[in-house]
Amino acid sequence: MKQQVFNPYLPSWEYVPDGEPHVFGDRVYVYGSHDAFGAPIFCVNDYVCWSAPVDDLSDWRCEGVIYKKTQDPGNPLGIRSLYAPDVTRGPDGRYYLYYAFDFLGEMGVAVCDTPAGKYEFYGKVRHKNGRVWGKQSGEQFPFDPGVLTDDDGRVWLYSGFATKVPFVASRWHDLRNDGGVVMELEPDMVTIKTEPKLLFPTRDKPGAFPHSFFEASSIRKVDGKYCFVYSSQYNHDLCYAMSDRPDGGFEYGGVLVDLGDLYLNGNEDESHANNYLGNTHGGLLNIGEDWYIFYHRQTNRSSYARQACAEKLERTTDGGFKQAEVSSCGLNGGPLKGKGRYEARIACNLWANGHATGRVDGANPKKRLRDHPYFTQSGRDREEHGDQYIANMRDGATAGFKYFLFDGTETRIRVEGRGSGSFLVSDGRKTVADVPVNGEGAFRIDEGVHPLFFEYRGEGPADFLFFEIR
């Protein structure tokens, strides 16, 4: 690769959650919703697309706005927000973008001749009689599309949501939300060929998985099998299920990634998570022999400024996947160099004194988390010149970075920030240095791959900007 790549892998000013990665030609394209820093709700910006060469996942470029929310005829004033999308190349060779407008209860489709060109409104997913799906009482609530054009040209659409259908969707129709559903589409890409079929029941319903379906439908082919990725009842993990066919027979596989590394090493206690928890959404990417899971993290003490991350996956002997650990080096292909300047924003672990993490979603989260560190930036939402950092580090707060490759020689480190006090630097086993804010120190770590943890000690809050190893 031309350079190292970190998590989040897009620029610090970009907030693209719900990322669905696809390889079209010789590039990886990531389609997601688009948050705005400081916004009070989800997904207020228009869809953008980012892409990178398949042989260099450090070289991301913005393809610009590919679809505006005002392009849908039902949203000319842009009042509704574009939620998590997915894209597939149809049997006709064109690219189809599927989306839902927040909690409206219908699914739109846009089309383009190229993967990241300007998409144009195409239609609404509808029944054979022309009625738009979601407009009749008793139908399953349309939400979070996942779409697959199979090897035989058949098109499969997945959808689902677990919580009570919001008033905006059920005002005129009594919609259901029993879990994840699948339907086959006609070759026109909008007409339902086979009616929605429940595959993934929600919590406490017969047939529910141990981590039952909540939202975030995503579908891929893995070694000829169908792999369904979703967010579970816990809402901060991505799980998967496998089947030999697209419309049934799925068996639970396990957790792919969790924002707080829960379920690794038997830890299921949310109060001892390695990071702040909230919703996440993403999909699988395959390049050669390598598999990755894409997901998003929370920033700014809210669920409304989420950022794109990814981790490399290991396979199991039965063809499944092991749970990935969240890291600072996801797409890098290995640990980061034990030399160089690193922004604090790439921390993959963050907690207040005593591992008291908690969720950033829920009622009045900023009040509940006011004594906790968090990722943020100065100013308003923008499309350039990011300055993201970790704010509000108080005595005992810790930021963790995984992983670095050290050569065993003595190393000097400088920490840049705002505030007084110092950082105790450790390799996860022992403290190796005590470095003042805006000061230097020296340490030696055994040759090999190690994390770095920075525990703040001092009176009053401090901001952590970056550190430099030389």
What was the pLDDT predicted at 64? 98
CB 403 within 8 A of CB 346: no
pLDDT in tens, 278-309: 999 999 999 999 999 999 999 999 999 999 99
Judge whether residue 344 has pLDDT over 80.
yes
What was the pLDDT predicted at 360? 60
Q: Got the DSSP string for 186-236?
A: PTTSSBBSS--EEEEE-TTSTT--SS-EEEEEEEEEETTEEEEEEEETTSS
Whether the bond between 85 and the residue before it is cis, its omega within 30 degrees of 0, is no
**Averaged over 37-55, what is the pLDDT?**
97
What was the pLDDT predicted at 150? 98
Judge whether residue 169 has pLDDT over 90.
no
Handedness of CA 165, 168, 174, 179 (dihedral sign): negative
Task: Assign domain 20-334 to its CATH superfamily.
Answer: Glycosyl hydrolase domain; family 43 (2.115.10.20)
Judge whether residue 364 has pLDDT over 70.
no
- pLDDT averaged over every residue in the chain: 94
Spatial CB neighbours of 327, under 8 Å, sequence gap ≥ 6: 7, 311, 348, 402, 403
Higher-confidence residue: 173 or 443? 443
**Averaged over 166-192, what is the pLDDT?**
86
215 labelled catalytic: yes
What was the pLDDT predicted at 362? 47
Tell me where in the chain the CATH 2.115.10.20 domain(s) lie: 20-334
Q: What's the whole-model pTM score?
A: 0.96
For residue 371, name the pLDDT band (cuts at 50, 70, 90). confident
Q: Tell me which of 46, 102, 215, 261 is the catalytic residue.
A: 215
Tell me where in the chain the CATH 2.60.120.260 domain(s) lie: 340-469
314 labelled catalytic: no
Spatial CB neighbours of 138, under 8 Å, sequence gap ≥ 6: 174, 175, 176
Is 2.60.120.260 the CATH classification of the domain at 340-469?
Answer: yes
